[in-house]
Amino acid sequence: MTESLRIAGAVEVLGEASLLAAFGVLATFKAMAVKSRVMSWEPGQGIESHIELAAQVAALVFLVLLWSCGSSLKRRPRDSFWPGG
């Protein structure tokens, strides 16, 4: 029984680590896209370019939020974060 609990714990840690790695990679790619958009910015562009840049930045912020929430869950006990769990 102890061995199965140990394996289950290792699988859980690997799952959390892979999710954090995936969100980190996605956030890195999104940051590179935002940087590329800013570096190729030309004065006098239309409102569509401003909206597209704002959408790119919002997506980056969302990915960083997901990554930070996922990394903070590792530091808290589960029963204090999920009531009834």
pLDDT tens readout for residues 2-38 = 777 777 777 888 888 888 899 899 999 999 999 999 9
Of how many residues is the chain composed?
85
Find out whether 59 and 78 touch, Cβ atoms under 8 Å: no
DSSP 43: T
Other CB atoms within 10 Å distance of the CB of residue 73: 13
User: Is the pTM of the predicted complex or chain greater than 0.85?
Assistant: no
